[in-house]
A = this chain, B = another copy of it.
């Protein structure tokens, strides 16, 4: 079974390659992973909305309805009419936001690249078990925001950022764990058992590889979700995150970013 299954499994994922010096990447580990595996052009440049939607579906089984507004907003990051470059998504407060789980706040440093210190909050979450879930994701959002509030006097923290951060949490739980519960153990255990690949590593390790290395942890046992991840499948998970985040806004709304040099 194992011998037969392996070629079948590896046949279906695009090849991982590290970005070259001229390739560009974004503040989003999901988009970066899709580019690193070739679901998006490895250059990270001139990406259209349909290209991003198709890549998310092919690579992660993420349906367009859960990311299409972000993709459309992304066009405002540059001057091209219908495409964007991944590095342009660093534009602060367009989609990129403070209190990220993997990037430093814009006002405090590098808001584009992965930051291990920032990530330690998520890396160390849900101690004692080998998975993250919606409750632990809520705690991570709370703790990361508390750090930003304490250290960043220029923080932007409106309902927009809160909903973006919640959607991002639901996405990493769904993509790297169980799209229905967000938890890792039950869903992934069941799935790996069903394909005789029960290894003992579950979604916390997958999530960590995803953020730190911006790749699909295929060799470690991760598989693309069998069901399409949509706004609807993430609804319950997002409800748990919202209920457990103890969130309050710092501002009720914010200036509108319309481009690299235009904010109103």
B-facing residues in A69-90 (Cβ within 8 Å): 69, 71-73, 75-76, 79, 81-82
**Does any Cβ of B come within 8 Å of A200's Cβ?**
no
Closest Cβ–Cβ distance, residue A52 to chain B (whole Å): 9
Say whether A63 faces chain B, with CB atoms less than 8 Å apart.
no
Q: Is B50 touching A259 in the complex (CB atoms < 8 A)? A: no
The smallest C-beta distance from A112 to any residue of chain B, in angstroms, reads 22
The interface residues of chain B lying within 8 Å CB-to-CB of A75 are 49, 72, 75
Measured CB to CB, the nearest residue on chain B to A82 is B49
Q: A264–B72 contact, CB under 8 A?
A: no
Q: Determine how close the nearest CB of chain B comes to the CB of A164; give it in whole angstroms.
A: 9
> Does chain B have a CB within 8 A of A1?
no
Query: Are B64 and A69 in contact, with the CB atoms below 8 A?
Result: no
Q: Are B253 and A81 in contact (CB under 8 A)?
A: no
A residues in contact (CB < 8 Å) with B: 48-50, 53, 64-65, 68-69, 71-73, 75-76, 79, 81-82, 159-160, 163, 252-256, 258-259, 262, 264
26 CB contacts below 8 A, A to B, read A48-B82, A49-B81, A49-B82, A50-B81, A50-B82, A53-B81, A64-B81, A65-B79, A68-B79, A68-B81, A69-B76, A69-B259, A69-B262, A71-B81, A72-B72, A72-B76, A72-B81, A73-B76, A75-B75, A159-B264, A160-B264, A163-B264, A252-B253, A253-B253, A253-B254, A253-B255
